[in-house]
Amino acid sequence: MGYEEYIKSQKLAARATIGPGNEFYSLLMAAIRFADTDNLNAIKSRWPGVYQDLMARINAPGGKLAGAK
């Protein structure tokens, strides 16, 4: 990690705060999409429910799960 990642994180955080919703989980789902194997395993071990939800939504039509938000 370095200065460039820090600057990019500021930009991502600024964009994430626009609009409704829980920005933390939005950013976490985005991180899952781009994570390498080691980082993905770390995220999955700490937030397995977020990982499972994202995988289910990726495979659901339009990302919408029956009976879920």
pLDDT, tens only, 37-66: 999 999 999 999 999 999 999 999 999 998
Q: How many C-beta atoms surround the C-beta of residue 18 within 10 A? A: 7
Full domain range(s) for residue 48:
3-63
Whether 68 maps to a domain, the answer reads: no
26, 17 in Cβ contact below 8 A?
no
Check residues 48 and 68 and name the one with the higher pLDDT: 48
**Spatial CA neighbour of 53 closest among 36, 38, 32, 23:** 32
If one counts the domains in the chain, the total is 1
Whether 11 maps to a domain, the answer reads: yes
18, 7 in Cβ contact below 8 A?
no
